[in-house]
Amino acid sequence: MHSRISENVVTGMIRISGEVIPGWMDTEPCTGCGIARVYHEKYDTYFCYECNCWLEVLVAT
């Protein structure tokens, strides 16, 4: 199932199936499905909207 996604580079917002988040689409693909990963500014990490998973693990120190 492919989600509908669009990026507004002027506002720095991504719309995924109607949800709007601060971030941008990356040029590097998800290693699981090959679709462009998305950077989520609020969480300061990348995720895949198709696989529905975070692509980086953040460790508190």
Q: Digits of tens for pLDDT over the chain (61 positions)?
A: 556 889 999 999 999 988 999 999 999 999 999 999 999 999 999 999 999 999 987 666 6
Confidence at residue 54, expressed as pLDDT on a 0 to 100 scale: 92
Task: Tell the residue number behind the tokens 């989600």, with chain if given.
Answer: 3
49 lies in some domain: yes
DSSP H/E element including 49: none
Confidence at residue 57, expressed as pLDDT on a 0 to 100 scale: 72
38 lies in some domain: yes
Residues near 24 by beta carbon (within 8 Å), at least 6 away in sequence: 7, 9, 12, 14, 38, 39
60 lies in some domain: no
- Give the number of domains in the chain: 1
| CA proximity to 24, closest of 9, 44, 3 | 9
C-alpha distances in Å from residue 4, one per residue of 1, 10, 18: 10, 19, 8
CB atoms within 10 A of CB 15: 13
| Residue range(s) defining the domain that contains residue 50 | 5-54
pTM of the model: 0.80
